[in-house]
Every structure is written in C-alpha cells, then in structure tokens.
Amino acid sequence: MLIQKFHPGIRLGQQPALIDSGNPLFSRQGHWDGGSTLHCVAMALAMLGKLSDPVHLPYHRTGNEAAVWDHAWQHYLHGLTLPELASFIAELNLGIRTATCIARGTELVRFAGRELGAGRPVVIGWGQQHPVKWHAALVTGIEGTRKQRAFTPHALLLLDPAGNAPVLAGYNARIDVRGRGRPRYLSPDATRDITFAGALSVRNVTAPP
C-alpha cells in the first residue's frame, strides 16, 4: 500500500495553504536569483505560525514578514548554504531553532519523516549537474509503502521554489532514494540525479527536543 504523510500545518486543496490563515503556502523563486533557501525558510516559518503571508514578504512594512525580508534581501541573489541558513534563522530572533542532519539516502528520509511527524518543517539541500549546482526545497511530506504495520519510506515530497505551483497536490517535485544509485529528483519538468547536502529542521524553541 502506497502512503503519503504530510506536515500537519498544510491544508491540501486546489493549492497548498496554511491551516491557520488559509493563505497560500507556495513561495516561487525567480529564474535569476539563488534564493531557494530563503523561500524555503519563509514557508517553514509560516508552517510554524511565525508568518501569515510567506508569499508577499517585500510588501509588508511591519511585523515578522518585514523583519524576515529586512534580513533576507541582502542574500537573495547569491543564496545561503544550509549552515549559513541555520545562522540566518538564529539571527531572526523569532523564537525558533534548527537541527541539522548530514545523513544520506534512506536515513535522511527517515529524519525528515520524524521531524514532519512532530510538526517541524524540513529544508533539504542538494547538489546537481546543472547550471545552478546548489539548490534547496521544503519537504512537505514523505512517501513510502506499508506492509502490515511496517512503513518503509522511499521518497521526499517537496515544494521546490524553482518549480511550478502545485495544483491539487501538496508537492511539485520529489526525491526518490530507491535503488543503489544516487537519489533522483523528479518533477513534471525535470529528472536528474542529485547528491544530498543535508537537511535542516526548523523548530519552535518551546518544542521538546
């Protein structure tokens, strides 16, 4: 039996939206910038209730949206690595912290599944043979198979900021780790082998470790 498990803060429908506000969740990256990690952290913060509008940050003059944009714009063209993103999140002073996973393959998928199950958004980073060699996406769900009571995960379900807005789905791309080769990125527009660079979960400070 094929099972998909999604973060509890996402409302599925015509497009993925936030449970609390009903606002759209998907924040699209431009063709020229390197800001995939920044779009991911905006979506992650919204899933934790720290932002109500992750899509239109530059249009807000007050509140957390304005504070995040004030920190983000200077990094927007060149982007951030996952360690740099962890420091960026700490500097926001929004009552959140991060946890990093450097495992590969199935172990990284299991880490993401545990974090999502606890309500913690996950940003995944990878390298690829592509003009943009470093990229990141937000993990919204885990896909796997269930046999009796055992669940075996085999894919990460993603909101990729560089992809098209999902329609009637909670994701617009996936990374499949089945097989002995490299993980494979799959979307309606692309299929490519990748190399995991790690994952970063975003947590409220008041949440248990």
* pLDDT the model gives residue 146: 87
d(CA 47, CA 18): 7
**Are residues 7 and 141 in contact, defined by beta-carbon separation less than 8 angstroms?**
yes
* φ/ψ of residue 29, rounded to 5: -85, 145
Note the pTM of the prediction, 2 decimals: 0.89
* pLDDT the model gives residue 131: 62
DSSP state, residue 22:
-
* Token pair recorded at residue 60: 């807000």
All domains in the chain, ordered by first residue: 16-204 (3.90.70)
Each residue's pLDDT expressed in tens, for the chain with a length of 209 residues: 788 999 988 998 888 999 888 888 999 888 778 889 999 999 999 999 999 999 999 999 999 999 999 999 999 888 899 999 999 999 999 999 999 999 888 899 999 999 999 999 999 999 887 766 789 999 999 999 988 888 889 999 999 999 999 988 899 999 999 877 789 999 998 899 999 999 999 999 865 44
Give the residue from 154, 195, 170, 207 showing the smallest Cα distance to 7: 170
Give the residue from 105, 43, 122, 41 showing the smallest Cα distance to 79: 41
* pLDDT the model gives residue 160: 96
CA distances for 46 relative to 20, 56, 85, 140, angstroms: 9, 12, 16, 13
* pLDDT the model gives residue 64: 96
* pLDDT the model gives residue 208: 47
